[in-house]
Amino acid sequence: MIKVGIIDYGGGNLRSLTRAVESLGHEVNLISSAEGFAEITHILFPGQGAYGDCLAKLKERELISPLINWIKADKPFFGICVGYQLLFEGSEEAEGEKGLNLFSGKVVKFKSATLKIPHMGWNSLMLNYTSHPIWSGLPEEPFFYFVHSYYPEGVKAEDSAAVCNYGRDFTACIIRGNIFATQFHPEKSQENGIQLIKNFLSF
Catalytic residue among 26, 42, 119, 185: 185
146 DSSP β-pair partners: 121
Beta bridge partners of 122: 145
Q: Name the residue among 168, 167, 180 with its Cα closest to residue 71.
A: 180
**Catalytically annotated residue among 54, 81, 164, 173:** 81
191 is known as an active-site residue: no
Q: Is 173 a catalytic residue?
A: no
185: annotated active-site residue: yes
The β-bridge relationship of strands 143-148 and 150-153 is unpaired
Choosing from 93, 148, 173, 187, the catalytic residue is 187
Task: Reply yes or no: is the peptide bond before residue 118 cis, omega within 30 of 0.
Answer: yes
Rounded alpha-carbon distances, angstroms, from residue 190 to 17, 22, 193: 12, 14, 5
Q: Which residues participate in catalysis according to the annotation?
A: 81, 185, 187
